[in-house]
Structures are given as structure tokens and as C-alpha cells.
Amino acid sequence: MSLRLGDIAPDFTAETTQGTIGFHEWLGDSWGVLFSHPKDFTPVCTTELGRVAHLAAEFDRRGVKVIGLSVDPVGSHGAWSQDIAETQGAAVEFPLIADPDRTVSDLYDMIHPNADDTLTVRSVFVIGPDKKVKLTLTYPASTGRNFDEVLRVIDSLQLTAKYKVATPADWVQGQDVIIGAAVSDEEAAELFPDGWTTVKPYLRVLPQPGT
């Protein structure tokens, strides 16, 4: 069965471009992003890994460790990383898991046989410091992911882990947020003494807390 939000992200030990990693130990108390790409030395994957390499400081700033994966061997990942640096202008400094026996791919249900029975799809798992899955995304091989969106969701996840709020459609850092539906007006008055705007009884808006 596929992983669901709130499940514990399965632990594993795997060979990577940065040596053998025990996943939970490597994560420590950090947030994590585990993402798969179908195949090394392919065009869309090259642009994706380059984009994540460019965003390294953004993941870092949010306390998020990033790790990639494909079914290719570690030597292939190393050689391809040089191409990525050359063509995309950023070095891949995060580890890439080599999963030729598909142990991790199977654990995370990253191979969708009706799409391709040997290669992983483009999966993304955001994992919280409690090791629970907070977000899953699945894209086909033909569509490169938007990693700014992954960062945007992480901003929302980190904010909503700290305050009893939710974030509206297309929200980005600094914009107004919504008081969670489970929060009564009485509790909201204690949590947000500066008040909020009631657009409808179920739609209560306030400036992003903590800014």
C-alpha cells in the first residue's frame, strides 16, 4: 500500500553518493525531502537536479535536508553529477541514493508499473522532524517538477506546525493566513489577541503570525 500523510516514513540503509546512509539517523531532527527521478543522464531529470542544486541555500535556510534517488548505480550518479554541474551551473551537494535493487523504491511505492515497470516516477516526500510524511507528490517522467512549490509547501507546513492556522490557495510567506476550522472563536481570541477579520463565520483571516 502506498504511503499516506501522517505515516512514519520507512527507515532504510542505502548506498549514496555520500556513502552509506541510514535514513532516519541521517535526517536527525531535521525536516527532509526525499525525491526520486526516473533515470540518470536524461534531460528532464538533469534540469530538475540542477534546480534543486540551485535551491540548496533555500532548503538549508528552512532546516530541510534533501536526498535524491534513482535505480541507477552510485557510479552513474557521480558521473552524471558532473554533467549537471556543467550544464545547469550548480553542483549537486546533496546525496543521491543508488537503488538498483529497488529496495527503497518499493518501500516508498515509487515504481508505478502501469507507467513504467522498471523506472521510478517523479515522487516527492516531505518528512517532518517527527519522521512523519507531511506531503506526497507524484509526477510523470515527462513533467519536471516545480521545486519552488515544494519550498512553498514547506513554508506552510512549518508555519502550521507552529501556529493553529492554515494557508489559503497560492499563499506565500508573508501573506494573510486563515484560522483553522477546528479553532473556536473563544480559543482564537486567546491565540490571536490582535484579532482577525471574519469574512464568513468559517473564513477568518489574519496576518501571518510571527512576522
- In the complex, the residues that contact ligand BEZ under the rule CB under 6 A are 38-39, 42-45, 119, 141
Q: Which residues contact 175 (CB under 8 A, 6 or more apart)?
A: 167, 168, 208
3-class state of residue 78 by DSSP: helix
Minimum separation from the CB atom of position 73 to ligand BEZ (A): 16
Q: Which is nearer to ligand BEZ, 56 or 141 (CB)?
A: 141
Classify strands 203-206 and 197-200 as parallel, antiparallel or unpaired.
antiparallel
Question: Is residue 182 annotated as part of the catalytic site, yes or no?
Answer: no
**Closest among 76, 66, 83, 70 to 125, alpha carbons compared:** 66
Please, which residue, 39 or 65, has the CB nearer to ligand BEZ? 39
Residue 125 CB, nearest distance to ligand BEZ (Å)?
19
Q: Nearer to ligand BEZ by C-beta: 45 or 188?
A: 45
Of the residues 9, 27, 44, 45, which is catalytic?
45
CB of 68 to ligand BEZ, least distance (A): 13
| Cβ-proximal residues to 52 (8 Å cutoff; 6+ apart), any chain | 35, 59, 66, 68, 92, 94, 147
Q: Active-site residue numbers? A: 45
